[in-house]
Amino acid sequence: MQCAACRREAVVFQPYSGKHLCPVHFTKDFEAKAKRAIRRNRWLLPGDHTAVVLTGDAAQAALLVFLHKLTRDRRDVRLSAIVIDEGTAGGAGYARQAAERCGIGIFAGSFAERYGTTRERIVRDEGAVAAGRTCRVLAGDLVAEIAAANGITRIAVATTVDDPATRFFSDLLNGTVERTLFAAETVGLLKIPVIQPFMDIPKTEVYRYAELTGAGTGDAGSSATGEESDAEAVLAAYDNRHPATRFALANLAKTLAGIAKTGSPSRETCPVYGSIREGNACPACAIRQKYTGGSGK
């Protein structure tokens, strides 16, 4: 199949646009969407020190490559990488290689040093579903601590359009929509601001971009567990017939969150973390209490 913009052989098909694209025009289209998200949200301002979090995933490496291309000729912004060793085989090594290929400064941290445990041990002790939430909280706190100690002003994460769509759909089905509507836009207890340049791009395209730019290869399959995994399977089946579904859900979630945050939440929020309490308790603070002996400080 030929590219919609030239005569080259297409390597990507976008069901939602109906376009087949060659490597050149796919890369242009991809990077234009990411740049537009950055401009719209004012995510790269003079004086910013942005760090990409790397744990070994190809999507994160793709984000590092994109931001390096975007900022390498700018003197008014700084780009670094934060490598988190969660204790999984090969993850930290791959992450370091991605940063070193771009010539990016690296700040490192590990679960073993900070918390005395690893992701694999947490999964073994708590099960995959509970471990997913635990590791998100612990990794977020560790990233924020590293950022605050090194003058990092923003954390870049490889969130795709699939992520908020799946979370919102799962929360709708389970009656927990406040998790989406009042989700934090910061990382960790120290609340370092987050940027998401890939927020308007499907996950499959992010992994394709990673391959084409040499950032790495990866599986665009699901990393969701439990309720989110079930919701994702239903959403994927529907999206196959209606390709713009994920975009519609992500946009709806963003719109409703903006409306909800102008008023008062219907449920009590945690005074430390700012998240919605569940059963009069804050799950994030409970995790911190277990692994740090306090609220994360």
pLDDT of residue 297: 43
Element (H, E) at 104: none
Please state the rounded mean pLDDT for residues 260-264.
Answer: 70
Looking up tokens 């005074």 gives: 271
Q: Which residues contact 220 (CB under 8 A, 6 or more apart)?
A: 203, 204, 206, 207
> Strand pairing of 154-156 and 186-187?
unpaired
Give the pLDDT of residue 33: 98
Q: Where are the beta strands (DSSP E) in the chain?
A: 12-14, 19-21, 49-54, 78-85, 105-110, 154-156, 186-187, 192-195
Cβ proximity of 259 and 173 under 8 Å: no
All structural domains of the chain? 43-292 (3.40.50.620)
* Residue 40 in this model has a pLDDT that exceeds 50: yes
Contact (Cβ atoms closer than 8 angstroms) between residue 75 and residue 102: no
Q: Read off the pLDDT of each residue in 92-106 and give the average, rounded to a whole number.
A: 85
> What is the percent of the chain with per-residue pLDDT over 90, rounded to a whole number?
58
What average pLDDT does this structure show over 107-121? Answer: 93
Lowest mean pLDDT among 24-33, 145-154, 228-237: 228-237
> Across the chain, what does the average pLDDT equal?
87
Residue 178's pLDDT band (cuts 50, 70, 90): confident
Assign 17 to helix, strand or coil: coil
Q: Count CA within 13 A, CB hemisphere, residue 177.
A: 13
Whether the pLDDT of residue 208 is over 50: the answer is yes
Could you give the CA distance from residue 52 to residue 49 in angstroms, rounded to a whole number? 10
Model confidence at 185, pLDDT cuts 50, 70, 90, reads confident
Are 77 and 50 contacting, i.e. CB atoms less than 8 angstroms apart?
Answer: yes
Q: Per-residue pLDDT tens for 214-236?
A: 887 766 544 555 557 788 888 98
Contacts of 30 by beta carbon, 8 Å cutoff, 6+ apart = 201, 205, 209
Q: For residues 156-180, give the mean pLDDT.
A: 89
- Please state, in angstroms and rounded to a whole number, the distance separating the CA atoms of residues 27 and 290: 44
Could you tell me the pTM of the whole model? 0.87
- In 114-212, which ranges are E strands? 154-156, 186-187, 192-195
Amino acid making up residue 179: R
Task: In whole angstroms, give the CA distance from residue 113 to residue 92.
Answer: 14
| Of 87 and 62, more confident | 62
Tokens 């945690």 -> residue: 270
225 CA to centre of own chain: 16
